[in-house]
Chain A
Amino acid sequence: MLFKMYRDHFGTIPVEVTGDSPQPKPTFPAGGDQPAVNPGSDTYPLDVSSALSEDRKTLTIAVLNPSDAKQSMKLTVNSVKLASQGNSGKWLPLKSMQLSRLEKRQRFRWMNTRSARFQTRSTCLLQRQYLLVSATVAQPSRSQQISNEDEYEKYQDVLLTDAGDGRVAGAMISAQVQTIVPPVIPGAKPATVEHIKIHGAALEGNLEGDAVDRDVIVFLPPSYEKDKHRHYPVVYALHGYSIGAQQWSAKSMCRRPSKAHSPRRQGNDCRPARLEDRLQRLDVFEFRNHRRF
């Protein structure tokens, strides 16, 4: 079923995808075997894949944005010539996958037959939306048919056929990803962050022998030190499975630094972000209860 869908709607000849935004190292180990690297092309955080149809007339590029921000991307098709720029790029919903709610006005623009710029909406993943660019590929003329490896090198730009020995010559696509970071809230004061451990009498004697003194991160409001007699309400924030308090606090409580895909950079250098702004004058406590199942 899945492969039929691929054949009918995507393509059968895989196409190499490269980019200038490498996948970061895995940061939220959840126990068990850990992958050494994150899979995927160098188009982080976008998920880009591409294939040619069996007749090699149609190049399909799928872009999925699993992040929570809009992403923009410059797309360049390196080794194929596209037939025309007018109607060669369009957004197509994958109806068979029930990926619907496609916006009519998409920011997508072909610059020429080789490259395009576009911006994804935020969380295509949650909105179950793919960007599918389908492009008609120019047929190589008879004289451009490639018969051996030397010519393969030579004609890389017009290449769309077997390299003569049955090998499939792939096209190459490169993508440039730029993350849009929300603006800094003007005048936001830094919160005090304390890393403490809280002993758990309730955790004593657990059969897995996990530590009973658990890491807790405490965010104190800016006025906590100054206003010694003031008492504050408390918000307890529990992170989910497969993530630690550090990562979640970086995600939800702190402003991301310039590079959104390096959440580890915050450390204690936390600035109150939107969530904490909303929870004005509250203390936010975080728990590190990362469990193994």
Chain B
Amino acid sequence: MYSSSVTTGDFENYIAHDVVAYIDTHYRTIPERTSRGLVVTQWAVTAHRASA
């Protein structure tokens, strides 16, 4: 689901790069690794061990 797939799309990089970059530029965040948290459910876990 959140993996890097040619078929469904590279969601791994979408979450890890596109979304994080967008949020950091559009909202007042603390743009650091230590200030990012992740809440996931069942299907999302595996991919995000790798990409977070």
Contact = CB atoms under 8 A, between A and B. Distances in A.
Contact of B18 (A199, A206, A230): A199
B1 A236 contact: no
Contacts of A207: 6-8
A291 interface: yes
Given A240-B41, A240-B42, A200 B35 contact: no
Interface string B18-52: 11101100011110000111111111100010000
B8 A237 contact: no
A117 B25 CA distance: 56
Looking at A252, A282, A285, the one whose CB has the most chain B CB atoms below 10 A away is A285
Interface in A180-238: 198-203, 206-208, 210, 212, 214, 216, 218, 220, 224, 228-238
Contacts of A289: 1-2, 11, 14-15
A287 B15 contact: yes
Chain A contact patch, size range: 35 or more
Contacts of B30: 231-234
A239 interface: yes
B20 to A, nearest CB: 8
A283 interface: yes
B14 A208 contact: no
Nearest to B47: A238
Given A206-B9, A237-B39, A291-B1, A200 B27 contact: no
A155 interface: no
Contacts of B10: 200, 202-203, 206
A232 B2 contact: no
A226 to B, nearest CB: 12
A152 to B, nearest CB: 49
A13 B14 CA distance: 54
A126 B9 CA distance: 34
B32 to A, nearest CB: 8
B9 A233 contact: no
Given A231-B29, A235-B38, A202 B43 contact: no
Contacts of A248: 41
Please give me the 3 A-B residue pairs with the lowest Cβ-Cβ distance, nearest first.
A240-B41, A206-B9, A233-B35
15 contacts: A200-B10, A200-B14, A200-B19, A202-B11, A206-B7, A218-B23, A220-B27, A234-B30, A237-B40, A238-B39, A238-B41, A241-B43, A289-B11, A289-B14, A291-B11
Interface of A: 198-203, 206-208, 210, 212, 214, 216, 218, 220, 224, 228-241, 243, 248, 252, 275, 279, 282-285, 287, 289, 291-292
Given A238-B41, A240-B41, 13 more contacts: A198-B18, A200-B9, A202-B12, A202-B13, A206-B9, A224-B28, A232-B28, A234-B23, A234-B29, A236-B39, A237-B39, A282-B37, A283-B29
